[in-house]
Amino acid sequence: MIADDIETFLFAIEFERGMSANTCTGYASDLRFFAKWLRSIGRNSAGEITRDDIASFLRQERDAGMKGSTRARRTAAIRMWLKYLKERHMIRVNPSELMDPPKREVVLPRVLSELEVAAMLDAVKDDSPRDLRDRAMLEVMYGCGLRVSELCDLKMDAFVAEGELLRVSGKGAKERIVPIGKAAGRALDSYLASGRSTFTKGNLAETHVFVTRLGRAFTRQGIFKIIRERAAAVGIAADKVSPHVLRHCFASHMLAHGADIRVIQELLGHADIGTTQVYTHVDSAHFAEIHKLHPRH
C-alpha cells in the first residue's frame, strides 16, 4: 500500500538519516497529499506510479497557482521517496529518474532595516527578568543568525571559549560554531545573572538557556509571539516580522557591511551556497534603491 510505503520512508529519514523534524514534517505532508491524489486516479501501489502521473500531479499544482518553491519541494519529496523504494527493491522502476524539478522562484526574504531592528532591541531595556530574557533572545537571534528551532533547543552547555562562542545544533544534527558578539554577549550575561533563575525556579534539571514563565523550554510559537509583541511596541507591523525575518536581517546586514558570502553561509549553517546567495539579491535591490539618489540616475 502506498500509505504504508510512505510511513516506512518517513521513519527511515527521521531515525536513520537524522533529518530535521521540520523537513520530515514537510515531506510527510507533501507525500500524503500526493498519495491522496494517486488514489483519486486509481493508483493503489507505488509500483503502479508512472512518470506521467508525477508530471500530471505537478502540472495540476502549477495550474492551481502553487508556488514554484512548493512544487520543487514536493518534487524533491517524491523523488527521494521513490529512490528509497527502488534502493530497497520495493519497486522495480523509479519513475522519477531523469525528471527535472520545477525551477525555484527567487523569492527575496523580508528584512527589516538596521534602524528598525535597533529600535526593537533597544526598546526592551527594563531590568525585569522578562525584559532581560526577551532582550537576550532577540539579540542572540539577530546577532548569531539562529533558526528559531535552534534558539528553542539552545542548552547551557552550548557556550564555549569562555562564553564568546555558541555551539549550535542545526538541521540534520549538524553542529556549527557561531560567534556571540558584544551586544548579544552583554544581553546574555545580564539575563543569566539576573533573569534566568526567576524562570527555572531552582530546577537544576532544566538546562535550556531560554525558559518560559512555567519553567519550560520555549516552543517556536512562543518565540514568534514574543517577537511580534516587541515589534508592535515600536510600530513594526506584524506581517513584517518573525523569527526567520531576524535571521534574514542577520545575513543581509552582514552582507551590506562587507561580510564574505561564504562566511555567511557557514554562520547560517547552509549546506548549499545557493541558499545563501539569495541575500546577494536582497543587497542588490537595496543598492538599486540607493543608486536612484544619484544626480544622473
Buried b / exposed e along 54-92 (16+ C-beta atoms within 10 A): beebbeebeeeeeebeebbbbbbbbbbbbebbbeeeebe
Q: Which of 46, 72, 87 finishes a domain? A: 87
Q: Do 123 and 73 fall into the same domain?
A: no
pLDDT value of residue 160? 87
CB 112 within 8 A of CB 249: yes
Residue 119 burial class via C-beta count within 10 angstroms: exposed 0-12, middle 13-18, buried 19 and up: middle
187 and 280 in one domain? yes
**Alpha carbons 121 and 230: distance in angstroms, whole number:** 8
16 and 156 co-located in one domain: no
Q: Choosing from 230, 247, 248, 253, which is the catalytic residue? A: 247
Q: Per mean pLDDT, which range of 31-40, 94-103, 108-117 is the poorest?
A: 94-103
Is 244 a residue of the active site? yes
pLDDT at 99: 74
Active site residue 297: no
The answer to the question of residue 82 being in a domain is yes
Whether residues 265 and 125 fall in one domain = yes
User: Domain for residue 296, yes or no?
Assistant: no
For residue 177, being part of any structural domain is answered with yes
Q: Quick one: 156 and 43 in the same domain?
A: no
Instruction: Pull the grid cell for residue 122.
Output: 533597544
Considering the domain architecture, whether residues 65 and 153 belong to the same structural domain is answered as: no
Q: Are residues 163 and 38 in the same domain?
A: no
Residues 164 and 287 occupy one common structural domain:
yes
The pLDDT of residue 83 is 93
Domain CATH number, residue 198: 1.10.443.10
105: in domain:
no
147 counts as catalytic = yes
CA distances from 122 to 3, 15, 170, 202, 256 (A): 51, 42, 28, 29, 21
Q: Is the pLDDT of residue 291 over 50?
A: no
Question: Considering 87, 102, 133, which residue would you say is the last residue of a domain?
Answer: 87
73 catalytically annotated: no
176 is catalytic: no
Average pLDDT, the chain: 86
Active site residue: 67, 110, 220, 244, which one?
244
Per-residue pLDDT averaged across 167-194, rounded? 89
Q: How confident is the model at residue 139 (pLDDT cuts 50, 70, 90)?
A: very high
| Residue 109 forms part of a structural domain | no
* Full residue range of the structural domain in which residue 81 is found: 2-87
Q: Is 247 a catalytic residue?
A: yes
Same domain, 48 and 142: no
- pLDDT at position 206 over 60: yes
Among residues 73, 74, 135, 147, the one annotated as catalytic is 147
Question: Domain check: are 72 and 136 in the same one?
Answer: no
Same domain, 14 and 132: no
Q: Are residues 216 and 146 in the same domain?
A: yes
pLDDT at 50: 93
* pLDDT tier at 290, thresholds 50, 70, 90: very low
Active-site entry in 32, 171, 281, 286: 171
Number of domains, the chain: 2
